[in-house]
């Protein structure tokens, strides 16, 4: 996912700060969903940022620490200046994400065990909210908004498991495919070469290095051995294709 493009598309509608925080927390939530990382506060933080966005759109200002549940349950539907999709549907979706965060142990310890279905639902709802903001964003062409929404709706990998800091790719694929899926699970962050080598420990080291060099030459990844690698836009799409192929074969 291209974080810079998302922020650029939203900052004219929101403020640059709100756009940066909302997109950053959405990407963290997407990564958590991809790696089935539970019990983090990302869903709640994302909803808090979304409430600040609604406040800003309604009044031009926002609370540093908004009363999230109070605003979503009692106030937002009376903000008649907001687009109905955000004021009604968006607010109710955001409140459902916040309820999952509070009641289903996504972020807190309680008698209910967390599960990836709760996290998947929170991610899907968050993707809808960002897409609806994009749709309403001023100064954004329909073509650009459509492209970005397609990126938001690209499938999240469910083939990566993290144990003790090591990520395992559970897919019958090539070394190249395994690298793409692994980098997808970290996107948009750079991944040090040492981490790639560790996570692909069952593969021959020479093969991993050769495939990384090939991917860099093809402009599928950006970076180097000193700073690590991250997927480019074509690389991200290639990773999504690998994930889709892996799902079809299971």
What DSSP line would sit under 175-210, residue for residue?
HHHHHHHHHHHHTTS-B-HHHHHHHTTTS-HHHHHH
Provide the pLDDT for residue 31. 72
H or E element that contains 24: helix 16-35
Q: Could you give the C-alpha distances from 39 to 65, 105, 108, 115, 148, in angstroms and in order?
A: 21, 6, 6, 10, 28
90 within 8 A of 131, measured Cβ to Cβ: no
Provide the pLDDT for residue 142. 67
Radius of gyration of the chain (CA): 19
In which residue are the tokens 């964003």 written?
A: 137
Provide the pLDDT for residue 53. 97
Phi, psi at 221, each rounded to 5°: -130, 155
**160-249: which CATH architecture?**
Orthogonal Bundle (1.10)
Provide the pLDDT for residue 203. 96
Provide the pLDDT for residue 177. 95
Q: Which residues of the chain have pLDDT under 70?
A: 1-2, 34-41, 103-114, 138-142, 147, 150-158, 250
Query: Helix, strand, or coil here: 206?
Result: helix
Stated pTM of the model: 0.63
Provide the pLDDT for residue 33. 78
Provide the pLDDT for residue 129. 93
Provide the pLDDT for residue 47. 95
In which residue are the tokens 């009641």 written?
A: 103
Q: Quick one: 163 exposed, middle or buried, by C-beta within 10 A (0-12, 13-18, 19+)?
A: exposed
Provide the pLDDT for residue 240. 80
CA 7, CA 157: separation in Å to the nearest integer? 23
Provide the pLDDT for residue 109. 46
Please count the helices (runs of H) and the strands (runs of E) in the chain.
12, 4
Q: Give tens-digit pLDDT for 15-70.
A: 999 999 999 899 888 877 766 666 666 888 999 999 999 999 999 999 999 999 99
């Amino acid at each position: 996912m291209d974080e810079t493009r998302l922020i650029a598309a939203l900052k004219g509608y929101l403020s640059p700060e709100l756009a940066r925080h909302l997109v950053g927390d959405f990407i963290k939530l997407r990564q958590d969903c991809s790696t089935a990382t539970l019990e983090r506060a990302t869903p709640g933080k994302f909803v808090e940022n979304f409430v600040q966005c609604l406040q800003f759109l309604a009044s031009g200002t926002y609370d540093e620490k908004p009363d999230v549940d109070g605003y979503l349950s009692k106030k937002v539907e009376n903000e008649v200046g907001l687009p109905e999709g955000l004021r009604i549907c968006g607010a109710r979706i955001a409140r459902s994400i916040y309820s999952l965060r509070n009641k289903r142990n996504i972020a807190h310890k309680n008698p209910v065990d967390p599960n990836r279905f709760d996290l998947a639902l929170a991610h899907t709802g968050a993707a809808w909210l960002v897409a609806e903001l994009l749709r309403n964003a001023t100064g954004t062409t329909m073509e650009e908004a459509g492209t970005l929404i397609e990126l938001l709706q690209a499938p999240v990998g469910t083939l990566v498991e993290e144990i003790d800091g090591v990520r395992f790719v559970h897919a019958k694929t090539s070394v190249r495919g395994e690298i793409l899926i692994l980098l997808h699970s970290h996107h948009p962050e750079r991944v040090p070469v040492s981490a790639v080598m560790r996570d692909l420990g069952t593969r021959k080291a020479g093969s991993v290095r050769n495939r990384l060099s090939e991917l860099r030459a093809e402009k599928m990844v950006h970076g180097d051995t000193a700073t690590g690698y991250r997927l480019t836009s074509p690389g991200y799409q290639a990773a999504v294709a690998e994930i889709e192929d892996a799902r079809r074969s299971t």
